[in-house]
Amino acid sequence: MHLDVLDQELMCSGHVGCPGCGATIAMRFFLKALGEKTVMVLPACCWSVIAGPYPQSTLKIPVIHSAFETGGATASGVRAALDMRGDKDTTVVTWAGDGGTFDIGFQALSGAVERNEDFIYVCYDNEAYMNTGIQRSSSTPYGAWTTTTPGTDWKRLRKKNIVEALVAHRIPYAATANIAFPEDLVRKARKAKSIKGSKFLHIFASCPTGWRIPSEMSIKIARMAVQTNIFPLYEVEDGVRYTINYKPREYLVREYFKLQGRFRHLTDQDLDAIQEMVNEDWQLLLRKAGEHA
């Protein structure tokens, strides 16, 4: 398979990501799609470390590291300054984890997209605070073990639907993407770049360390998240026009869950209940897209 992207690598090898890290795969494809006229805001997340310690840098684009909760705000300032300098060609990107997006950075993100700031906000989602050692976030899925939802106290709350929260702001473009679907990811990154205003990309990025999976399973499990309808691939334009990009359901939820140590404790009954939730969410999405099961 040939992927129509830059041959040039804007991300260096030798970074300090864990083996099989989905967040690094996401970055590599994303930058190949976007190109070097990109300025990146990196609020605290795994990528704060992966990007390399001073004086090194993993990325061959300008990067500003920022406080955890400031992804939306810092990018707003970068965009405003580029505009004042007459630079309309450079794309401003915030690259944040799920903690920096769903939780601590949600206010600044909501503020920035309400102002329809012209930038792309990317959340690479590994479903917990992985950089600090696997603590639950509001992106952690129902059923998951983390170090702050240990033993029998596993998370019994649903994952926040961040895309719908962004869609509610009626932003020009919001989409999900997945490291196992690079053509789709690259297309969406380019589409986001071509649209003026606030764009949100929610990229599913598996974490072998935190999910308790072998590193060579990283892509397979990310793909299964789509194939089970747990993480559907879709895009929403102007907060209303839904397009579902991938439909066939090839696996049951339990098959995806059984491969991951973080779900090991779940009973068949629990898995049935989760299957029901996934089905319900999928039906809801179909209705929004004007489609039927």
Partner 1 sequence: MKRVLEGSHAVAEAVRLARIQVISAYPITPQTHIVEILSDYCASGKMNARFLRVESEHSCLAALIGAQSTGVRTFTATSSQGLALMHELLHWASGARLPIVMAEVNRALAPGWNIWTDQSDSLAQRDTGWMQFYCEDAQEVLDTMLMAYRLAEMVNLPAMVVLDAFFLSHTYEPVDVPEQEEVDRFLPAYVPEFRLDTAHPFALSPLVAPNAYMEMRREIAAAMDEALERLDSVEEKFAGIFGRRYGAVEAVCCDDADIVLVTSGTVTSTARILLEELRAKGEKIGILKIKLFRPFPVEAIRRALAGAKKIAVVDRNFSFGATGIFAQELRAALCNVPDHPPVFGFIAGLGGRDITTEVLASIVEQTKTADAPPAESIWIGLTEAAYAFGRP
Q: Which residues contact 187 (CB under 8 A, 6 or more apart)?
A: 33
Under rule CB under 8 A, residue 59 binds partner 1: yes
Identify the bridge partners of residue 175 per DSSP, sorted by sequence position.
201, 235
The CB-of-233 to partner 1 minimum distance in angstroms stands at 30
Nearest CB to partner 1, comparing residues 11 and 205: 11
Under rule CB under 8 A, residue 73 binds partner 1: yes
The CB-of-189 to partner 1 minimum distance in angstroms stands at 17
Query: Cα angle vertex 226, ends 222, 232, to 5°?
Result: 130
**Per-residue b or e along 190-226, where b marks 16 or more CB atoms closer than 10 Å to that residue's CB:** ebbbeeeebbbbbbbbbbbbbbebeeebbbebbbbbb
Range 161-190, binding partner 1 (CB under 8 A) = none
**Interface mask (CB under 8 A) for partner 1, residues 194-223, using x and -?**
------------------------------
The site that binds partner 1 (CB under 8 A) totals a number of residues, namely 46
Burial-class residue 109 by CB neighbours within 10 Å (0-12, 13-18, 19+).
Answer: buried
CB 257 within 8 A of CB 134: no
Q: Which residue among 26, 27, 63, 171 contacts partner 1 (CB under 8 A)?
A: 63
Range 86-125, binding partner 1 (CB under 8 A) = 90, 107-108, 110-112, 114-115
Rule CB under 8 A: which residues touch partner 1?
Answer: 36-39, 41, 48-49, 51-55, 57, 59-67, 69-70, 72-85, 90, 107-108, 110-112, 114-115
